[in-house]
Copies of this chain bind each other. A is one copy, B any other.
Amino acid sequence: MAAREVFNERGYHGASIRDIAKRAGLSLSALYYWHPSKQDLLAALVEESTMDYFRRCDEALSGVGQDPADRMRAMVRAAVEYRIERQTESNIAAREWRNLEPDNRVRLDGLRVNATKLWSDIVDEGVRQGVFRCEHPKDARRAAQAACNAIAQWYDPAGPLTIEEMVQHYIPIVMRIVDHRP
């Protein structure tokens, strides 16, 4: 989808449907034959990307045991990989969320809440077991998510850091945020 590139470069309102069509190698009318509206282009993109994020996290957790530390490590891996591998969509979803029309926003907010709950449950269980000793679990969770989310804003695929290195850097950071003590 070429809408991805144009939305990323110019933002939702800054991107014209003519730019998108041109980038896709389609005429204006041909684009409308395939997609009903500009809003639908954004909603479809955000939905696919958000579902991909949730699915990655869900699968990562299903492949690991019940230990909160293990689950947190799996979660960070999934999150870091997603933010890098789906960098463009991640940034569009973050920036253009507000430009979704109410129906789309409400529907997709559900997905977002689900994903955040995956983080919360791990932190809460770790605190309950006493292996995470952070004083404020909610803020620890927010800090951990924010650190991972921000990767999409600055990561340079042509830079020195591989995805695996990023995962290995961010796992200890997040473990310290939740104050993990084995």
Contacts and interface: CB of A to CB of B under 8 A. Distances in A.
Q: Which 5 A-B pairs have the closest CB atoms?
A: A13-B13, A146-B150, A143-B147, A13-B14, A176-B176
B172 A135 contact: yes
Contact of A143 (B134, B173, B179): B173
A170 B170 CA distance: 18
A163 to B, nearest CB: 14
Interface residues of A, number: 28
A107 interface: no
16 contacts: A11-B11, A11-B12, A11-B13, A134-B172, A134-B173, A135-B169, A135-B172, A136-B173, A140-B173, A143-B147, A143-B170, A143-B173, A145-B150, A146-B149, A147-B147, A149-B150
A95 interface: yes
Given A11-B12, A11-B13, A154 B142 contact: yes
B11 A98 contact: yes
Interface in A120-149: 134-136, 139-140, 142-143, 145-147, 149
Contacts of A140: 173
A111 interface: no
Interface string A79-113: 00000000000000001001100000000000000
Given A11-B11, A176-B177, A139 B98 contact: no
Interface string A141-182: 011011101100010000000000000011011001101000
